[in-house]
Amino acid sequence: MSYEAVFFDLDNTLYPYAPCNEAGKRAALETFRERGYEMHRETFDELYATARREAKRETRETAASHDRHIYFKRALRLHAGEHDAADALALGDAYWEGYASEMELCDGVERVFDALTEAGTEIAVVTNLTTRVQLRKLSRLSIDDRIDRLVTSEEVGREKPSAIPFTTALAAFDRRPSEALMVGDNVGADVAGANAVGMDTALFVADGETPAVDELDGDRRPDHRLDAFADLTEVAA
């Protein structure tokens, strides 16, 4: 089946997330040390996890829940009992610099985009997170000129699986849900969210660890499961 528009999640769909996150953490830890804080990796991991958990609890279902600068602002307070704007900014910036240095497209993404463009299919990225960070990722991956629309949870005020990110993208293209396909790695956010507004869905996880079949039921069952990103050409183009 072909579609008039295909929407993609970004993180761990168009590129693998885990190596980028690890590189970001290493860079932030090094910055902690450079700025005079004695810290082992184990301490850093515990501190980061605690700050992240607190931030997500207090900013749940908003783009701010993913903001690394918030995590490190809290981490400084937890570790040193202090507020230092310059250090918090440096730590967050270091994380994203390290993160970006490891970003690489999944095999097949460019071929799929070529096929969709040739078929006249519109392409959107529909993603949870802040707009500036996601713009930076698209630029780093050199695919910003391949995307017709970027819809972030920050700009629409709701996180997937809310209907609003999906309906915003549909409205931008003047498309009905039946004319669009959502491709993503998260069963709850991408599959259930898009299915709920009437879109078909395809599940692809960049790190290869897809949920077991018995975990995919009801509105969590995608219409397509992709073993390789390039398989999408048989589904959507």
Active site residues: 9, 11
Write down how long the chain is. Answer: 237
Q: Which residues face 236 on adjacent strands?
A: none
| Amino acid present at 30 | E
Give the CA distances from residue 205 to residues 46, 95, 232, in Å, rounded to whole numbers and listed in that order.
Answer: 27, 23, 13
Q: What are residue 149's phi and psi, to 5 degrees? A: -145, 145
Residues 116 and 237 sit within 8 Å (Cβ to Cβ): yes
Q: What is the DSSP string of 122-184?
A: EEEEEESS-HHHHHHHHHHTT-GGG-SEEEEHHHHT--TTSHHHHHHHHHHHT--GGGEEEEE
| Amino acid present at 159 | E
| Amino acid present at 161 | P
Per the structure block, which two tokens stand in for 147? 């995307």
- Report the distance separating Cα 166 and Cα 109, nearest Å: 21
